A = this chain, B = another copy of it.
Amino acid sequence: SASMDSGDELRQKYMEFPYVSGPHRDLMVELLSSVETRLGSSLQPCTLPPHVRHFGNPAGTAYACIQLRHGLPSSQIDFILGGWIHSKLPSGGALNITSLSGYLNSSTDAPNFRLELIQSIPTSLILVLDLTPRKDLILHPHHLKTYYEDTLLDRYRQRLHMLPEVSPYISPSLYVRAAVSPTAILVSIDVGAGETTNIEEIIRDHVGPVAKELLQFWIESCACTERRVGEPETAYLAERDRIIKNKTIELDLGSSFPRLFGQDVADRVLTVLKEHYNK
């Protein structure tokens, strides 16, 4: 059973992305490898219990793999979270989600990283890719300038929006809409059933390069560039981060996990994740 897997097996399973297409898997593996190469020495090993690292629903139709690694106290990283979810759909298809998030701690005010690829039909993909702000950008216009304007971050969004298959995706959650940055890539990529382009090619040729560049930027300019944040600001960041992390569990995972894995499994996993998010 999943709960008997060893650490190595769990790590392997996590990197396997067994249910998504080749280009989708290649992209995720490349992103996780960048994190490992550049940030690995700043991270603690994953201490999630095995039943949270890999689990499924009682019916055996849904599986997930999660890895959470806290940053070392000397680093600016709170934790890096990655994972995948696979669930068979009653329609015969499957829902596949792969994600990678980077949360920084309150020694810096640099943005967090967030990537999510959500696919429930072969001809369509929802992409969420953002450097999520950790400060109110209205009250802190300098922050908007430093991280979003001077860096020309919007060019990545613009590049994807030039594709005819790409259209804005509007999240049903008002919280999610409020939490993203003004350069957030929240798009739906749709290829018609009879078209010559397919989602795999768009992931390989367009989503991949943008995701890799943005992650690279986040690692170098956000996670690894030291910022000196003063005491009142640390408290502000810590409080805002606390809200963000708990809202993410409550709204994002909390709304989908019970549906996908049943209430018991969801409760067990979410309780542990909540503890680890707030460590």
Among the listed stretches A119-127, A172-180, A214-222, which one makes contact with chain B, having 4 or more residues with CB under 8 Å of it? Answer: A172-180
Determine how many copies of this chain the complex contains. 2
Residues of chain B within 8 A of A174, CB atoms compared: 144, 148-149, 154, 182-183
Residues of chain B within 8 A of A247, CB atoms compared: 138, 141
B240–A139 contact, CB under 8 A? yes
Residues of chain B within 8 A of A181, CB atoms compared: 178
Chain B nearest CB, measured from A112 CB (Å)? 12
A244 CB within 8 Å of chain B: yes
Docked CA distance A240–B239 (Å): 19
Q: What count of chain A residues pass the 8 Å CB interface test?
A: 25
Interface flags for A157-184 (1: CB within 8 Å of B; 0: not) read 0000100000010100011011101110
A-B contact pairs, 17 of them (CB 8 A): A136-B136, A136-B139, A136-B240, A137-B175, A137-B178, A139-B240, A141-B175, A141-B243, A141-B247, A144-B175, A144-B178, A154-B174, A168-B170, A174-B182, A175-B182, A177-B182, A178-B181
